[in-house]
Amino acid sequence: MTTIADKWNLHADHFWLRGRRPDRPVCFNTVTGMWNVYGYAEALRVIGEPRTFSSNTGRVIPERDEFSEGNLVQMDPPLHGKLRRLVSHAFTPKVVADLEPRIDAVARELLDAVGNQGRMELIGDLAYPLPVIVIAELLGVPADDRFMFKAWVDKLFSSSEQFSLTNRTEEQERRFEEITGEVRKLTAYLGEHAAERRRRPRADLLTRLVEAEVDGVRLTEAEVVNFANLLLIAGHITTTLLLGNTVLCLDAHPEQRARVRADRSLVPGAIEESLRMLSPFAVLARVNEEEVELGGARVPPEQLLMVWLSAANRDPAWFPDPDVFDPARDPNPHLAFGRGIHFCLGAPLARLEGRIALNILLDRYPGLRTDPGESPTFSPSPNMTGVTRLPLLLDD
Q: Which residues are CB-neighbours of 302 under 8 A, at least 6 positions away? A: 59, 60, 287, 288, 289
pLDDT score recorded for residue 1: 65
What's the confidence (pLDDT) of residue 164?
77
CB-CB contact of 219 with 70 (8 Å): yes
Q: Tell me, rounded to whole angstroms, the distance of Cα 62 from its chain centroid.
A: 23
What pLDDT shows up at residue 112? Answer: 96
Residue 15 pLDDT? 95
Burial class of residue 147 in the structure, from the number of CB atoms within 10 Å of its CB (0-12 exposed, 13-18 middle, 19+ buried): exposed
Give the contacts of 266 (CB within 8 A, at least 6 positions apart).
259, 260, 327, 328
The packing angle between helices 100-114 and 347-364, to 10°, is: 40
Whole-number Cα distances in Å, 1 to 211, 277, 279, 311: 55, 15, 20, 18
Give, in order, the Cα–Cα distances in Å from 362 to each of 121, 221, 359.
Answer: 15, 44, 5
Fold of 4-144+233-369+376-393: Cytochrome p450 (1.10.630)
- Write out the DSSP string of 269-313: HHHHHHHHHT-SB-EEEEEESS-EEETTEEE-SS-EEEEEHHHHT
| Neighbour tally for 261: CB within 10 Å | 16
Cα separation, 146 vs 106, whole angstroms:
14
Q: What is the 3-state secondary structure (H, E, C) of 341-360?
A: HHCCCCHHHHHHHHHHHHHH
Q: Residue 127: is it exposed, middle or buried by C-beta count within 10 angstroms (0-12/13-18/19+)?
A: buried
* Residue at 340: amino acid letter: G
Cα–Cα distance measured from residue 235 to residue 227, given in angstroms and rounded to the nearest whole number: 12
- DSSP element (H, E) containing 37: strand 34-37
Rounded CA separation 292/308 (Å): 18
pLDDT tens by residue, the chain, 396 residues: 678 999 888 999 999 999 999 999 999 999 999 999 999 999 999 999 999 999 999 888 765 556 678 889 999 999 999 999 988 988 989 999 999 999 999 999 999 999 888 999 999 999 999 999 999 999 999 999 988 888 888 877 776 677 778 877 777 777 778 878 888 888 899 999 999 999 999 999 999 999 998 889 888 898 899 889 988 888 899 999 999 999 999 999 999 999 999 999 999 999 999 999 999 999 999 999 999 999 999 999 999 999 999 999 999 999 999 999 999 999 999 999 999 999 999 999 999 999 999 999 999 999 999 999 999 999 999 999 999 999 999 986
What does residue 223 show for φ and ψ, rounded to 5 degrees?
A: -65, -40
pLDDT at 175: 75
Q: Exposure of 217 by Cβ count < 10 A (0-12 exposed, 13-18 middle, 19+ buried)?
A: exposed
Res 2: pLDDT? 75
Closest CA to 319 of 20, 40, 66, 22: 40
